[in-house]
Homo-oligomer: A and B are copies of this chain.
């Protein structure tokens, strides 16, 4: 299954924090029983428009991944948690809301991955 979280945040400071994004990428796999197979990686980028800067982070988890993209000057964050198995969606959303101080959160859950392959 794949959980997509789109958030509007109260403050831009947390969205500009590399350590905060790293913490999310490190803690979520443990919290929902997934095993990271790569070190979390976070990079800063700057777009053509000066407002379009932020952090992009990801970690590989067996046949799945977690990604985070932040836009501090726009107070926005996009998170994907893609896993081969079911996980506690509420737990991940609550953790994201708390860690990044998300004020307005939109979530989508897609049925996708090994557990939805025909015959399995």
Residues in A61-116 with C-beta less than 8 Å from chain B:
62-65, 67, 69-71, 74, 76, 78, 80, 82, 84, 108, 110, 112-114
CB distance from A20 to the nearest CB of B (A): 16
Q: For the complex, what is the distance from the CA of A78 to the CA of B65, rounded to whole Å?
A: 11
Does the CB pair A56–B47 fall under 8 Å? no
A38 at the interface (CB under 8 A from B): yes
Q: Give me the interface of A with B, judged by CB distance under 8 Å.
A: 2, 4, 6, 37-38, 41, 43, 45, 47, 52, 54, 56, 58, 60, 62-65, 67, 69-71, 74, 76, 78, 80, 82, 84, 108, 110, 112-114, 117, 120
Q: For the complex, what is the distance from the CA of A47 to the CA of B113, rounded to whole Å?
A: 13
CB distance from A101 to the nearest CB of B (A): 18
Does the CB pair A67–B82 fall under 8 Å? yes
Specify which of B62, B65, B84 is in contact with A58 (CB 8 Å cutoff): B65
Specify which of B56, B60, B120 is in contact with A62 (CB 8 Å cutoff): B56
Q: For the complex, what is the distance from the CA of A56 to the CA of B63, rounded to whole Å?
A: 6
